[in-house]
């Protein structure tokens, strides 16, 4: 890595190489789609670097960075010590020197030791310097639960990152979004926390390289008339399953994939809830002070006059994220989501 740091920053347009154009459609798993996005970001911009624990020769614990070091060399895809504060501190310095680092924190629960670097340095530097020192850092982290891993390997920290001014937060829910949202995030001049739903890494789906679609704001994953389920990350797939189950009872449920958790797309929320007039927010984090509270308040502010029932939240419980098979009792399942739908539909004003 010493060679890369010693190299002067490249001018914005100089030394840039464009990867072979990806066209058409293909079927990829989510981790393959992220790997493709990282490959193309590295090929496009010689200032882009990938760093983290075991991202190099091993290719990451989920093999998301597999083959990248062999293709681009150990100066651009490199392993770091087991020190998250060092990974993000190094990323801040690299960004100040003109690079575009894409660090990986191996599991979301490992981020806590690096909160100082993330909050007091990376999130604020662009504001402190009035844009003189932008922070084009895309922090990748396998996030949320669903794989029955040990403690601290499954968390749901979007509430924390979304609260930090200066950070953008995004979570894809499909391979198509995983590719295009990461490419989009890596081209931004400000820091983005890119939360990868680890339970969906092996989900396969179509990736359309020609039609990325709108990459800003929320996305309607399923249109409906009677109620809106609002979710992000892995919970989008679960909400789609719940919507299909509800359809058997004649209910037409819309699923709104929030995607960007900071900033939240309040206009898309208002448009969906104004149509269905009922809402259930689903997430894995604890209920108290979770991001669902902010989403619910935005809905209330924008749609109070049209709501037929209070916004319902189906969430994790107010306990530390459990490990192992206890995750199954903690993470919202289809039955809990359906019960939330039932509560909203049966609400009667006193």
Give CA–CA dist 6/196, Å, rounded: 32
Q: CB atoms < 10 A from the CB of 198, how many?
A: 26
How many helices and strands, by DSSP H and E, does the chain display? 13, 14
Give CA–CA dist 30/143, Å, rounded: 13
Q: At what angle do helices 334-345 and 234-247 cross, to 10 degrees?
A: 60
Question: Which tokens sit at 148?
Answer: 């029955």
Question: Which tokens sit at 189?
Answer: 């001049």
Q: CB atoms < 10 A from the CB of 147, how many?
A: 15
Backbone φ and ψ for 137, nearest 5 degrees, come out as -115, 130
Give the H/E segment covering residue 293. Answer: helix 291-303
| C-beta separation of 63 from 84 below 8 A | no
Beta strands at 48-52 and 77-79: parallel, antiparallel or unpaired? parallel
| C-beta separation of 36 from 182 below 8 A | no
Give CA–CA dist 108/97, Å, rounded: 27
Catalytic one of 39, 153, 176, 283: 153
Concerning whether 163 is annotated as a catalytic residue, the answer is: no
| C-beta separation of 120 from 67 below 8 A | no
Looking at the annotation, which residues are catalytic? 153
């Amino acid at each position: 890595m010493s060679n890369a740091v010693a190299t002067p920053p490249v001018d914005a347009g100089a030394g840039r190489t464009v990867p072979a154009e990806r066209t058409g459609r293909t079927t990829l798993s989510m981790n393959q789609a992220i790997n493709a996005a990282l490959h193309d970001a590295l090929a496009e911009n010689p200032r882009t670097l990938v760093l983290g624990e075991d991202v190099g020769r091993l290719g990451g614990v989920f093999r998301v960075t597999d083959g990248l070091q062999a293709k681009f060399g150990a100066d651009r895809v490199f392993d770091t010590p087991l020190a998250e504060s060092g990974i993000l501190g190094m990323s801040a310095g690299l960004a100040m020197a003109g690079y575009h680092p894409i660090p990986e924190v191996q599991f979301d629960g490992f981020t806590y030791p690096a909160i100082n670097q993330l909050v007091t340095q990376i999130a604020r530097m662009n504001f402190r310097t009035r844009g003189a020192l932008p922070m084009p850092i895309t922090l990748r982290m396998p996030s949320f639960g669903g794989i029955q891993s040990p403690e601290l390997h499954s968390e749901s920290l979007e509430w924390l990152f979304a609260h930090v001014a200066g950070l953008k937060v995004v979570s894809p829910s499909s391979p198509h979004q995983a590719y295009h949202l990461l490419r989009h995030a890596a081209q931004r001049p400000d820091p983005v926390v890119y939360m990868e739903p680890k339970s969906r890494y092996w989900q396969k789906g179509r990736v359309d390289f020609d039609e990325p679609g709108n990459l800003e704001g929320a996305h309607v994953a399923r249109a409906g008339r009677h109620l809106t389920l609002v979710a992000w990350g892995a919970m989008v797939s679960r909400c789609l399953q719940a919507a299909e189950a509800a359809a058997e009872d004649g209910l037409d449920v819309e699923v709104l994939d929030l995607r960007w958790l900071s900033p939240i797309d309040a206009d898309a929320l208002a448009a969906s809830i104004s149509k269905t007039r009922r809402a259930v927010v689903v997430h894995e984090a604890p209920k108290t002070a979770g991001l669902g509270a902010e989403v619910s308040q935005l809905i209330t502010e924008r749609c109070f006059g049209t709501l037929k029932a209070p916004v319902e939240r189906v969430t994790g419980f107010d306990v530390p994220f459990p490990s192992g098979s206890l995750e199954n009792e903690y993470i919202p399942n289809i039955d809990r989501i359906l019960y939330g739908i039932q509560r909203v539909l049966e609400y009667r004003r006193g």
